């Protein structure tokens, strides 16, 4: 196991102060902080071998190409993809899912087919499928939730049916923290011949994820939530499906031969990577994956689970708030949404901010989920490897101050100026 205080030294931003107080960064589900080696990888690229990939015969271009493809290998290995070519670089999870919807989705989902999502999807795994369903005259079905915030699978066979072409769901919910039963859903999908898309935006950063073991056909993920820079992410596609898929964007890099009236496609994965790619950020994502692999994803998950357990225990003691999502850390990631019926999350968030505690407030890009829960917004703290019990204590104590501050007017603690 690793020493959190040692890890913290690798993240320059964690040394900074906000309003004169040490930053307590608890907005990791939105984006993670970056270790020095990731920042250094960017600098190295721009200072030492900045060059376009795949096209040059000169030394710098070859070096850049090697590093760029090496990063793809690292990421592929990290998620258990059998081949590096089965990982396509994208900007983020959202782009990965849109790429899939606009290529495989349009070509394979036909009138009368069914697409299944869940009530806890991020907009990015819901809205693209609405569009495919509309365009293809297919049906979009939404698996409901239990009160606890887990999938209600009691009636699963009426959702996943022989008409189902795709089951698309998040591995870990960004709004509830719920870890979904991937293997069970994949098995159900297999039984009816449907494909499975896993939204790994929240799981890949915080737990071991192996696409082969999980037996999914597609997986989308974002670099920026797993210590890599913004603007880089990936889409894993099972090789036999990828070989059949039509290109997404057309132009340079993705072609093999071009005539005035036609073109042929480059090899995988370049076929799906038109134009000059995001070289620097891809290479830096390789560095992020190195960093996480050195920590060991089992250890990352262990830390996350322990800290989550601690936070849940402490936060449950605060009577005025409702914690959302499952209370069992075996089926919960390091995401802690909470809610007070009287005090709007924005007010809580503003109060915490002034104590240098960064949390997120709002609908977290899951409006259908909020609607289903009868809420419009929640406050959400989310943890990562560099967070400590002391930071959770700080959150709890300032949250109590905030509840007192906004609570009963008579009891409002007037501060001396």
Partner 1 sequence: MAQNAQNELDDLYGDVVLDHCRTPRNSDTVEPADLRADGVNPFCGDEVHLQIALNDDQAARVGVQSVGCSINRASASMMSEALTGKSRSDIVELAKTFRAMLKGDAPSDDEREDLGELTVLEHVREFPVRIKCALLPWSTLEDALAG
Q: Which residues are catalytic?
A: 365
CB 262 within 8 A of CB 65: no
Report what 347 binds from ligand PLP, partner 1, none; CB cut-off 5-8 Å by kind. Answer: partner 1
Give the position of tokens 């931003």: 13
CB 68 within 8 A of CB 283: yes
Question: Residue 243: which region, alpha, beta or left (left: phi > 0; alpha: psi -120 to 50)?
Answer: alpha
Min dist CB 5 to partner 1, Å, is 23
Is residue 281 near ligand PLP by the rule CB under 6 A? Answer: no
Residue 118 β-bridge partners: 143
CB 83 within 8 A of CB 97: no
Is residue 19 near partner 1 by the rule CB under 8 A? Answer: yes
What track of x and - describes contact with ligand PLP for positions 221 through 260 (by CB under 6 A)? -x--------------------------------------
Is residue 119 near ligand PLP by the rule CB under 6 A? Answer: no
Is residue 150 near ligand PLP by the rule CB under 6 A? Answer: no
Report what 363 binds from ligand PLP, partner 1, none; CB cut-off 5-8 Å by kind. Answer: partner 1
Q: Within 13 Å of residue 186, how many CA atoms lie on the same side as its CB?
A: 18
CB closer to partner 1, 317 vs 417:
417
CB 150 within 8 A of CB 173: no
230, 224, 285, 223: which is closest to 38 by C-alpha? 285
Is residue 103 near partner 1 by the rule CB under 8 A? Answer: no
Is residue 347 near partner 1 by the rule CB under 8 A? Answer: yes
CB closer to partner 1, 26 vs 204:
26
Strands 335-339 and 378-382: antiparallel
Helix (H, G, I), strand (E, B) or coil at 269: coil
Q: By the criterion CB under 6 A, which residues form the site for ligand PLP?
A: 29, 92-94, 122, 124-125, 170, 174, 199, 201-202, 222, 365
Q: By the criterion CB under 8 A, which residues form the site for partner 1?
A: 19-21, 343-347, 350-351, 354-355, 361-363, 367, 370, 375-377, 405-406, 409, 412, 415, 417
């Amino acid at each position: 196991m690793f020493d959190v205080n040692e890890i913290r030294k690798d993240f320059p931003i964690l040394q900074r102060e906000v309003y004169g107080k040490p930053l307590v960064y608890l907005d990791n589900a939105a984006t993670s902080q970056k270790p020095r080696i990731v920042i250094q990888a960017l600098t190295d690229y721009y200072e030492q071998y900045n060059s376009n990939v795949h096209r040059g015969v000169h030394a710098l271009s070859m070096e850049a190409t090697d590093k760029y493809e090496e990063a793809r290998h690292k990421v592929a290995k990290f998620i258990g993809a059998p081949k590096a070519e089965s990982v396509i670089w994208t900007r983020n999870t959202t782009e990965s899912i849109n790429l899939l919807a606009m290529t495989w989705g349009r070509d394979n989902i036909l009138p009368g087919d069914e697409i299944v999502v869940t009530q806890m999807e991020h907009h990015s795994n819901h809205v693209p499928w609405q569009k495919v369903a509309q365009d293809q005259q297919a049906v979009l079905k939404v698996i409901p939730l239990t009160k606890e915030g887990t999938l209600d699978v009691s009636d699963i066979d009426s959702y996943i049916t022989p008409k189902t072409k795709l089951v698309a769901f998040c591995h870990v919910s960004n709004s509830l923290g719920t870890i979904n039963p991937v293997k069970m859903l994949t098995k159900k999908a297999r039984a009816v011949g449907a494909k499975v898309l896993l939204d790994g935006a929240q799981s890949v950063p915080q737990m071991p994820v192996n696409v082969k073991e999980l037996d999914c056909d597609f997986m989308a993920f974002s670099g920026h939530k797993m210590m890599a820079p913004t603007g880089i992410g990936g889409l894993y596609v099972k090789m036999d499906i990828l070989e059949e898929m039509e290109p997404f964007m057309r132009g340079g890099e993705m072609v093999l031969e071009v005539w005035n009236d036609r073109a042929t496609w480059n090899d995988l994965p370049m076929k799906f990577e038109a134009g000059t790619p995001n070289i620097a950020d891809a290479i830096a994502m390789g560095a992020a994956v190195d960093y996480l692999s050195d920590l060991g994803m089992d250890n990352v998950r262990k830390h996350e689970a322990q800290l989550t357990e601690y936070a849940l225990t402490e936060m449950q003691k605060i009577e005025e708030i409702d914690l959302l999502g499952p209370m069992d850390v075996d089926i919960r990631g390091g995401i802690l949404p909470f809610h007070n019926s009287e005090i709007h999350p924005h007010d809580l968030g503003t109060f915490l901010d002034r104590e240098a505690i960064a949390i997120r407030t709002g609908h977290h890009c899951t409006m259908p989920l909020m609607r289903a829960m009868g809420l419009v917004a929640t406050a959400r703290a989310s943890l990562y490897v560099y967070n400590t019990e002391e930071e959770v204590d700080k959150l709890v104590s300032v949250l109590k101050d905030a509840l007192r501050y906004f609570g009963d007017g008579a009891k409002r603690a007037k501060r001396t100026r």
